[in-house]
């Protein structure tokens, strides 16, 4: 079928001629299917795209300008653009990456660093108000992660005494920090 014949069919489709539409489909669908398949790389997707392309052809046939435009080029452009749009829709905007922490800057921002330094200084000042043995027990419990039993054994006191030391020390720290 020549470009002149295809242009005539498109003109008839623009007038709502269903038999011309069927003839156009029979003449050009293999070529348009090949375009869709080449871009989409999936037969089922290409078949669906081809149907949508012909819906667009039916709707836009009145916009085809016969003079100076290749009718098969116009149809191929519709198929190509529609297929590319489908690929873009199904492809994520950014590639997925596994969040393993390599991309996270774990250093606090300057404001947060200043606050932490200030808080750390306040805690150090308050820790100095505790008896040295009890301040050390608090550090070992809450910084080093030693258990109450390990601390009781280390300081040679009963377990309940160690619990009392830590509880009272934390209360004193809270009072100091609230000032």
- CATH number for the domain harbouring residue 143: 1.10.10.10
**Final residue of a domain: which of 69, 90, 111?**
90
Residues of the chain with pLDDT under 50: none
Average pLDDT, the chain: 86
For residue 156, what are the domain limits?
128-178
CA angle, residues 121, 165, 115, in degrees to nearest 5? 15
Count of structural domains, the chain: 2
Question: Do 17 and 77 lie in a common domain?
Answer: yes
Measure the CA angle with vertex 6, ends 18 and 22; round to 5°: 25
Please give the pLDDT value at position 100.
Answer: 58
Same domain, yes or no: 82 and 138: no
CA dist 73 and 86 (Å) reads 20
- CA–CA separation, 36 vs 52, rounded Å? 11
Q: Per the domain annotation, does 107 fall within a domain?
A: no
Q: Distance between CA atoms of 156 and 121, rounded to whole angstroms?
A: 30
Q: Could you tell me if 84 and 138 lie in one domain?
A: no
* pLDDT tens for each residue of 99-114: 555 555 566 677 777 7
- pTM of the model as a whole: 0.52
Q: Looking at the domain assignment, is residue 53 inside a domain?
A: yes
Q: What is the pLDDT of residues 48-66, one digit of tens each?
A: 999 999 999 999 999 887 6
- Dihedral sign (CA 84, 89, 90, 92): positive
Residue among 178, 175, 168, 177 at smallest CA distance from 135: 168
Residue 147: predicted pLDDT: 87
pLDDT at residue 60, rounded to an integer: 92
Provide the CATH number for the domain around residue 78: 1.10.1740.10
> For the chain, percent helix, then strand, then coil, each to nearest 5?
75, 0, 25
């Amino acid at each position: 079928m020549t470009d002149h014949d295809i242009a005539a069919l498109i003109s008839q489709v623009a007038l709502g001629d269903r038999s011309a539409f069927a003839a156009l489909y029979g003449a050009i669908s293999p070529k348009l299917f090949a375009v869709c398949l080449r871009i989409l790389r999936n037969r089922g997707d290409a078949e669906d795209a081809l149907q949508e392309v012909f819906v667009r052809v039916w709707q836009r046939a009145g916009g085809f300008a016969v003079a100076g435009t290749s009718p098969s080029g116009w149809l191929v452009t519709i198929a190509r653009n529609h297929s590319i749009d489908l690929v873009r829709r199904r492809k994520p905007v950014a590639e997925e990456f596994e969040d393993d922490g390599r991309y996270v800057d774990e250093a606090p921002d300057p404001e947060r660093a200043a606050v932490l330094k200030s808080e750390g200084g306040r805690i150090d000042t308050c820790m100095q108000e505790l008896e040295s043995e009890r301040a050390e027990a608090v550090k070992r419990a809450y910084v080093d992660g030693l258990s109450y039993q390990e601390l009781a054994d280390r300081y040679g006191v009963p377990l309940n005494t160690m619990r009392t030391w830590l509880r009272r020390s934390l209360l004193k720290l809270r009072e100091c920090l609230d000032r």
